[in-house]
Amino acid sequence: MKYKAFIPILFILVMSLVSCNKYEDGPVLSLKSPEKRIVGDYIVEQYLINGEVISLADQGITSYRVIYNSDGTGKSYITVNSSVQETEFQWELDQDKEKIRERSLGLNNEWSAWSNYKQILRLTDKEFWITDIDTEEATEFHFAEQ
C-alpha cells in the first residue's frame, strides 16, 4: 500500500529531472554543482565565429590554455610562436548558473570591467563550451580538459 503512493511521486521526480536540462549540450543530471564542473585545466579544442570553425594556428596562436580555480579566479596562457601571454582573471556565474562572465587583471594591477555574460552551452566533467552572442560576430569556445 505504501508503494502505490510512492510510484506517482517517483514518476514526477524522474520526469522533472529529464525534462529540465540547463545547458543545451550538457548532461541531464549531474551530482556536481556547475561551479565544481567548471573548475579545471582546459585547452581550447575549437573556436568558432558565426558557427564556422576558426583555426587558432591561422590566427598565429600555437596554444591556448585556461585554468578555472574553485575560488572564482583563473589564469589563461596564450602562446603565439614561442611567446606566452599569461593573464589572471576572475569568473562568476549568473544567478541561474546558466551564464558566466569574467574580468581580467591588467598590466597596471587594476581589474577590468566585467565582460558581458556568456551562455554556457555544455558543461560536463571534461568539457566546457561557452558562446557570446552579444557581439557583432557570435563567438564560441569549446574547452576540453587537459
Domain chopping of the chain, boundaries: 2-145
- Which pLDDT score is estimated for 5? 64
Would you tell me how many other CB atoms lie within 10 Å of the CB of residue 78? 19
**Cα dihedral 121/92/27/144 (nearest 10):** 70
**Cα dihedral 80/55/88/106 (nearest 10):** 70
Please name the amino acid found at residue 23: Y
CATH fold for the domain made of 2-145: Lipocalin (2.40.128)
Stretches where the chain sits below pLDDT 50 are: 18-20, 25-26
- Which pLDDT score is estimated for 19? 42
Q: Residue 116 and residue 102: Cα distance in Å, rounded?
A: 8
- Which pLDDT score is estimated for 25? 45
